Amino acid sequence: MSKSLQDKVIIVTGAGRGIGREIALLCAGEGAKVVVNDPGGAADGAGANAAPAEEVVEEIRKRGGMAVANFESVAEAVPASKIVKTATDHFGRLDGVVNNAGILRDMIFHKMSVEAFEAVIKVHLMGSFYVSHAAARIFREQESGSFVHFTSTSGLIGNFGQANYAAAKLGIVGLSKSIALDMGRFNVRSNCVSPFAWTRMIGTIPTETEAEKARVEKIKQMGPEKIAPLCGYLLGDSAKDVTGQIFGVRMNEIFLFSQNRPIRSVQRSEGWTPQSIAEHGMPALKGSFYKLDRSADIFTWDPV
C-alpha cells in the first residue's frame, strides 16, 4: 500500500502532546519527514520543557521514520522562522505546515486581562501567520505546498469565557482563506480544521455541575488520534483540489462548515433613517437572526 506523504517534509507545531503529537506520528507513518515543534510549555503557555518534542521524535524513529525536534515558540516572528529553517536545514525542502500550537487563558470577558488576550492572540493567530509567512516563500518558489490551520467552534459558533481564543480562531479562518486566494496560482493550498477531542487544553473545562461533568465525559471519548487522518489527507497530493475550506472532525464524523454569506436583505428606494430601520428594516431581518448559541447547543448528539 502506497504511503500518501512519502518523502514530503512536514512541520507540525505544538506536536509534543495531544492532537499535534498524533498528527506528527501519522505523517511519519505515511512516509513524511517531520519537524516536531514544541517548546513544551504548560496549557497556559508558561514554562518550557524539551521532553515532549524529543519523546515524539524518538517514537517516530523507533517506528522507522524520520523526524527532528524544534523547541522554538511560534509567538514571535524570528523564532517562528527558525522552525521553517529547521525543516530546510535538516531535510532540504518543505511541503506542508500544520499550525496546531495553542494555549488557553479562559476568563469571562469583563475580567479578562489585556495580557491574557494578547498572549492567546500571539500564539494562535500571530503564530499561524509567522510560521505560514516564513514557509510561503519556499512554497512560492517550488510552486507547491499545503497549510493546515486549526480553528475552533469557539470562534465559528461561540463559547463562554473565551473571547481571546474565539477571536484568534476566527481570525485564523480569515488568514487561511486569504492564503488560499493569494497563493492558489502557485499550487499552494490552505484549509482549516476544527477539532473535537480530549486534550490538555480541553482539560481546563469546568466540571462543577452534573451537566458539565457529563459533557466532559463525552468529550473524553474523542481521542486526538481521530483528528490526524484528515490532516494527513489535506497535506497529500490527493487533496490538490481542496483549498479555502473549513472542516470539523468529531470522533468518526467529518464536517464541512458553512462560510459567511448574506442570508437576507431589505431595501428602501429613498434610503434609510435610524427611524425607518427601527420600524421596517430590523423587524424584517429579525426572523433570520442567529441565536447566541454555543458549540454544545449545535452539536447536541453524542459523538459517533
**Residue tagged 483540489 (cell numbers):** 241
DSSP 186: G
165 catalytic, yes or no? yes
Catalytic one of 130, 165, 233, 290:
165
- The answer to whether the CB of 173 falls within 8 A of the CB of 156 is yes
Please give the biggest Cα pair distance in the chain: 73
List the beta bridge partners of residue 188.
Answer: 145
Q: How many CB atoms lie within 10 A of CB 35?
A: 30
Helix, strand, or coil here: 153?
helix
Burial letters 145-154, b for 16+ CB under 10 A, else e? bbbbbbbbbb
Helix, strand, or coil here: 96?
strand
Residues with Cβ within 8 Å of residue 198, at least 6 apart in sequence: 219, 220, 221, 222, 223, 224
| Positions marked active-site | 165
